Structures are given as structure tokens and as C-alpha cells.
Amino acid sequence: MAENEHWMLLEGDGQGRAATPHRARFESVGSCLPERRVTTEEFMASTRHNTRIDLERLTGIRERRMAVEGEDSMTLALGAAEDCLAHSRYDADDLDVVINCSITRDTDGLRQQYEPPLSLDIKRAIGADDALSFDLSNACAGMLTGVFLLNDMIRLGDVERGLVVSGEYISHLARNAADQVHNILSKQLASLTLGDAGAAVIVERAPEGSEGISLAGFTTIAEHSRLCLAYPSDSAPGASMFTKSQALQRAAIADTGPLLAEILAASGLNLDEIDFLIPHQTSVRAIKKGVAQLREHFGGAPRETVITVDRFGNTASTTHFVALRDLLSSGSLKPDDRVMLVALASGLEIGFVIFTPGELVDRYPPEDTEGGDDGHDD
């Protein structure tokens, strides 16, 4: 196991280290999607150069949501937090901690806010005035990193419940890339897949004997840290992101298999015992290729893979919980299903959260999902 690897297991690790006294579980999930839908065809028509790129065929993304004037990281995070609380047994003043995990910290348009931290503004806006609050950022693994930390705090008995939230206003990276991309080899090509969204999740101490999060763990493979970098744009408002997409995908696929084998062994599971896999939503093609390679490596695969990137685009740190909120609304998730969330983030950061939803599904009566399909790939 890598030196910087850190797996958090509930029931001890078989090496004499005792289990922690509590288990954590997801209590409610929320999302906030801008009303504005932009199809890939419409978006690519806005590019400055004649790229001849068929982005929809290349990525499988039909449309994405893009913020309009008055929407930003703060409003998307706040909307997601309010949706999460609307499906929760708790009020905001019951929360012990609020963790904001946004990559973007945009307020009032494109003003980056670092002090005071967005978590402070979010907790005050929702009425969680007495909660501990802090911001963290870990690229597209941000929300799962927040869950990882909060899971640990709950298991150790430091807190009883908290909110992990993120608002990603990243469409300015896509707009700036649309002015710069000339062809399929451009390092800004991946920016054309981005969409805006907010997501939130309440994690609570589970009653004794109930199901919940059975494993949460992350590792960083820093040798790949320069495969995706972002800078303030020198030609337009906002930022520009430069990604060596194929190299990043190769590194992620190569390193995920061995790490996944370790966590499956640690949790006593086979891959085909996972009912739903929710990966980071980069592109339909990348997700399907990754699952095919896992099937080849392990001789089996999760029963279903959840894909929402075709309807929402890549929404960075919020993708897993936007997808989970969508899955809950579809009525497909059952209380005893086993779900695996997989983070593959620039850095290279690889993370896993395995959980059983239990009572979570009861708070989301089935409704029509966005886009008219169930978003699952068998």
C-alpha cells in the first residue's frame, strides 16, 4: 500500500487495531441545478474557431446546465443545502459542522471569496449559526474528501451530524475554452464538458446496529499532479484549465485497479456485490471504458453504473451527489443496495466510499428524472 494512502475502515483492519465506536450514514442529499440548459450542439456553435469536433459523439454529453446572471458558487451551494434540509429530519440548527468543498469560490459573479470562508456564509444563510465550519478543496474529489473527514469525526464521537456542501460555478472555464480550442488535441478540450451545479449531503451518526458507510478512503498519486492545471485567464474573465486528458485517463485506469482490489479485500466484498457504481462523471465514453477494464481485471462488475454526465456535464466536486440525488429520485435505489462512490480527481486523487442507503431512500418518493431516462448503464 502506498505510503500516503489512508483507508478508514469501521470494523478494524485485521491487524489488531480496534474499531471506532460509531458508524456514520448518509441522512439526506440535495442538489441545485441551474434552470438554463445548453445543448452540446448549441454550445459548440459558440466556439470561435471551426474545430470540426463532434463533442457529443466524443463524450456522450447531450446538454449541460449553465448558470445565468445572479447564480454563482454561493447560490448553487445554498440551493443544494436547502434541498438537502428539505429532505432531512433535521433543522439547520441541529448541525454540528458545515464543510464547504467547492473548487470555485465565486460570489457576486466572478469574485473569488476566500475570507470569510464560504462555509461561514453558508451556515449563517441556512441558520446553522452554532456549527463549526471550514472550507477545503481537493479538486473534483472535494465533496468525497469532506465526507471522508466528517465520517471520521462522527466515528470518533467528536460530532453527531454535519453538512458537506459544494457549489461549482465552472462554466466560465468552458466559455473561455470555447474561444481558444482549435482542434481535438487542445489541452482545453476537457473544459468544454463542464457544467454548473450545487450538491449537499448530511452525514449523521447511525443508530447502533444499522447500516451506513462501511468504508471511506483516499490516496494521492502526486506524480500525475501536472496533468491538469488551472490558471486565471489572461484573455477573458474567469479561469482557463489545461488537461492532458488521455494521459490522465490512462493513469487513473492503471492505478484504480490495484487500489480497488485492496479496498475490496479490506471490506470483504467482490466487485459484483456492488449494486450501484457512481463514478466521477467525466464523459460517457471514459466511464464505459473504465468499467470494461474493471470487468476484465476482476471478472465481474457492479450491477449498474450510474451515468448523469450526458445530461448535466462534468460538474466537478458535486458530480457524485448530483448523481446520487438523481438516483434517489428515480426510485431505483433500495434500502439494502450497496453503493460505491469513486473519485478520480486531478492530483491524481483516487477515493472510494462504500455505503448502504437504508432509510435514506424513504425520503425521496420516485419522480421523473431529468432527461427522461434512468441514467443507468447496465
Asked if residue 193 belongs to a domain, the reply is yes
Q: What is the pLDDT of residue 226?
A: 87
- Range of weakest confidence among 25-34, 84-93, 288-297: 288-297
The pLDDT > 70 percentage for the chain reads 92
Instruction: Report which of 292, 126, 139 is spatially closest to residue 230, judged by C-alpha positions.
Output: 139
Pairing mode of beta strands 304-306, 276-279: parallel
Q: What is the pLDDT of residue 365?
A: 86
Residue 299 CA, chain-centre distance (Å), reads 27
CATH number for the domain spanning 260: value is 3.40.47.10
* Domain carrying residue 27: 6-377
Asked if residue 1 belongs to a domain, the reply is no
pLDDT in tens, 321-375: 999 999 999 999 999 999 999 998 888 889 999 999 999 999 998 874 443 344 5
Asked if residue 73 belongs to a domain, the reply is yes
What is d(CA 129, CA 151) in angstroms, rounded to the nearest whole number? 21
63 in Cβ contact with 39 (< 8 Å): yes
pLDDT in tens, 226-273: 888 888 888 788 888 888 888 888 888 788 888 899 889 888 999 999
Q: In this predicted model, which residue has the larger pLDDT, 238 or 31?
A: 31
pLDDT in tens, 161-173: 999 999 999 999 9
What is d(CA 152, CA 166) in angstroms, rounded to the nearest whole number? 19
Asked if residue 289 belongs to a domain, the reply is yes
Asked if residue 24 belongs to a domain, the reply is yes
Cell numbers at residue 29, please? 442529499
Mean pLDDT (the chain) is 89
pLDDT in tens, 147-162: 999 999 999 999 999 9
Number of domains in the chain: 1
Q: What is the pLDDT of residue 376?
A: 56
Q: What is the pLDDT of residue 17?
A: 41
